[in-house]
Structure 1
């Protein structure tokens, strides 16, 4: 009778049998499990929509996930105390996680839409003009409060759409801006690779930048403001924080 094959996990496109963990040191087990977890799950603050009126994050990518539950697949191959220690550490970093997987078909369609329209400022102005036209409508009572809520959402969406479309269109359409973004973005500066991978990395850099930009929350001004400045040389108004607080888009 043939022995049953061990289940596998995938780390950086490589399948690893769970039985391999039995021969690892505790440190190696911890490091490898952590790498697997962070490749598959992320803090929702990274790119999950947040809606305070709905009670918090809207887990459109999947979740919320608990580190203890997700690491249970290593049970029987890794000592329980090692799994519990890593689960505790991850839970201290983030109590609830979301899936790090992204729907590539949707992103490709979305990117094509962005790059096909370089009149993003006109689109923004049109959106704001429509909001002002609706505000002029004679609506009273409870319907008025509901209308204001819808318009509030429309304004936030218009701002986010403009900031994302303008940046993505400009950077991906110009090699000089693409290089400036890669060289000056701190998250890309931390990346390392072997010299033998240099041509592969060069060929895939535009796709990597695309994936990164599409994953951003464009109302997170603490992150977006430095990106605009470092890459495009665009400085935001010093008093922008006051307006963003009014819109509940965040603070600088």
Structure 2
């Protein structure tokens, strides 16, 4: 995993009301701490900036379990964050030949539910009340991966089968809207744009639900995070399900 940080942060001074812009390349990210927990190490990444007018500003990320962005936090020292960076954790982008032959299944939901049922039976037969048990941890990690695959395959299928959805994604996504191709490239490969969109969607980290929610909303007008209007309730539900698996 590596930290990504894009865009700008705009912070309003709490006393003067002046808004200051901070570029993402002004930050240097480092791993500053970590500890051992039930499902392995929890890692803490941080970037700090000593701004001449705003004082010390910090941005923090937590990775737990390994490979999962658990939480991020911006500390503006009492000033108002008008606009923040787009920042988080991501895997290094794979080379295209790693998944060029990947065929997206036509029934991702059925595949996900089969996986859920099979791992639930495995947990009943071999899991333990202690969340540190290897089987419990493997089941949890597998279900996260299965959810990522379901969200990714579903979005790729929907966009590939709907030209309007693909156009909305190209227009509305910050990264795709910046893509530029020459006439020679397009003439050489008429499917260049569609292929680039598929490559981009395959490279997304689908456990980053905030990012996935934006993509689904742009392309399909679906908000996957509208399960509840109360984020505390959503957290409590997630905690309860994790406790059912013996993970907390």
- TM-score (normalised: structure 2): 0.51
How far did 1:231 drift? 0.4
Whole-Å separation in 2 of the counterparts to 1:105 and 1:192 = 21
Whole-Å separation in 2 of the counterparts to 1:109 and 1:189 = 25
Q: Whose Rg is larger?
A: 1
Equivalent of residue 121 in structure 1, options 98, 105, 109: 109
CA deviations on 1:121-147 (whole Å, 9 max, x unpaired) are 111111111122122216558798221
Q: Verify the 8 A CA contact 2:108 2:153 in the aligned structure 1.
A: yes
**Shift in CA distance, 98/239, structure 1 to aligned 2, threshold 3 Å:** closer
Whole-Å separation in 2 of the counterparts to 1:235 and 1:169 = 17
In structure 1, the residue matched to 2:170 is: 182
Whole-Å separation in 2 of the counterparts to 1:216 and 1:161 = 11
Equivalent pairs counted in the alignment come to 161
Runs ≥4 residues deviating over 4 A: 54-59, 97-100, 138-144, 196-203
In structure 2, the residue matched to 1:105 is: 97
How far did 1:210 drift? 1.7
User: Which deviates the most, 198-207 or 215-224?
Assistant: 198-207
Matched, 1:230 2:230: no
**Shift in CA distance, 199/125, structure 1 to aligned 2, threshold 3 Å:** same
Whole-Å separation in 2 of the counterparts to 1:105 and 1:198 = 19
Whole-Å separation in 2 of the counterparts to 1:232 and 1:142 = 41
In structure 2, the residue matched to 1:63 is: none
Secondary structure of the residue aligned to 1:186 is coil
Matched, 1:239 2:231: no
How far did 1:152 drift? 0.8
Matched, 1:208 2:200: no
Equivalent of residue 53 in structure 1, options 25, 35, 40: 40
**Shift in CA distance, 183/156, structure 1 to aligned 2, threshold 3 Å:** same
Unaligned runs of 5+ in 2: 1-28, 30-38, 44-62, 68-86, 243-248
Superposition RMSD in Å: 4.1
How far did 1:220 drift? 0.8
Considering fraction of residues, name the structure with more helix: 1
Equivalent of residue 152 in structure 1, options 131, 135, 140: 140
**Shift in CA distance, 169/193, structure 1 to aligned 2, threshold 3 Å:** closer
